[in-house]
Amino acid sequence: MTVLVTGGAGFIGSFVVESYLMEGYSVVVVDNYFSGAKNNLEDVKGNPSLTIYDADIKTSAITEIIAKHKPKIINHHAAQKSIPNSIENPTKDAAENVMGLLNILSACKENPIETFLYISSGGALSNSQDTITEDTPPGFSSPYAITKYAGENYVKLYSQLCNYSYTILRYGNIYGPRQVKEGECGVIPIFVENTLNKSPSQLFTYPDMPKGCVRDYAYVKDVAQANILATKNPINDTINISSGTGIYIKDIYESVQKAFGTNIPLEIHPPRQNDVKYSVLSNEKAKRLLGWSPKTTLEQGLREIYDTTIDLSS
């Protein structure tokens, strides 16, 4: 069976592609390499079941690719993912996250699919100081949050128009090897790069949160497995993919220092505009409906990042 993965050369997308190939799927990757990288697929590029296109989902190329390969499954990871960039240029954010998606969904009318996986953001939609579930009313503190929520609703609507099953995966913060601070971000790749360069990192704090904001972090290979489970068992619903456990950013930094055997002090700064203070997603629904739960601890994941980084530099 053929699956099309948009953004398949990205940090998360490339691990999803590898997982599909290991499961025996034929995989078509579409990526414009704006935030993805060709070397993310280096280990699988010779696989006869993999086809890679350097193409933009906002153009007619995606329609032609879907018509040619007629995938039964579409896994949509491609997106403009930066909250600050969405605030600076909301028009570009909407073009990537809404018009690009609609381009794909329109192609599905002429080329029927069976399953659509849409990647959304639980973190950007957070609007609570409590652990949020899929039923918690979303917050819209950035254009990015608005476009991702709009995308969720387009996917639901087109499932009726095009008669496909779907699963919406709302990611928490994802980390792991191949992550770069300019791409699908979060603080871990920033902390890792600064640590390797022996440079100080910044911690943005609030008077009532001296250890910084709270996030939950899930390891990328665990997240790829959630995609496989949702592909095999689409549930026509929205599911959080997360660790389910909050951790202060200062504690994350200290874990990075421990993994890399360093002790570089933090620089403390006041909070940034539009930062979400607390973002922890419940993963109980994923456990119940997908049979998924995270397997990798933060310490294990950071150690793998360290080992991968050392291997690349040696």
For the annotated catalytic residues, the residue numbers are 144
Spatial CA neighbour of 294 closest among 213, 224, 189, 247: 224
**Sign of the dihedral through C-alpha 274, 275, 278, 284:** positive
Q: What is the DSSP letter of 272?
A: P
Query: What angle is formed at CA 283 by the lines to CA 77 and CA 255, rounded to 5 degrees?
Result: 85
CA distances (Å), 145 to each of 16, 93, 118, in order? Answer: 23, 10, 14
Q: How many CB atoms lie within 10 A of CB 162?
A: 18
* Distance, C-alpha 224 to centroid of its chain: 10
Number of H helices, E strands in the chain: 11, 14
DSSP 128-139: -SS-B-TTSPPP
Q: CA-to-CA distance for 240 and 83, rounded, in angstroms?
A: 19
Spatial CA neighbour of 231 closest among 184, 284, 169, 282: 169
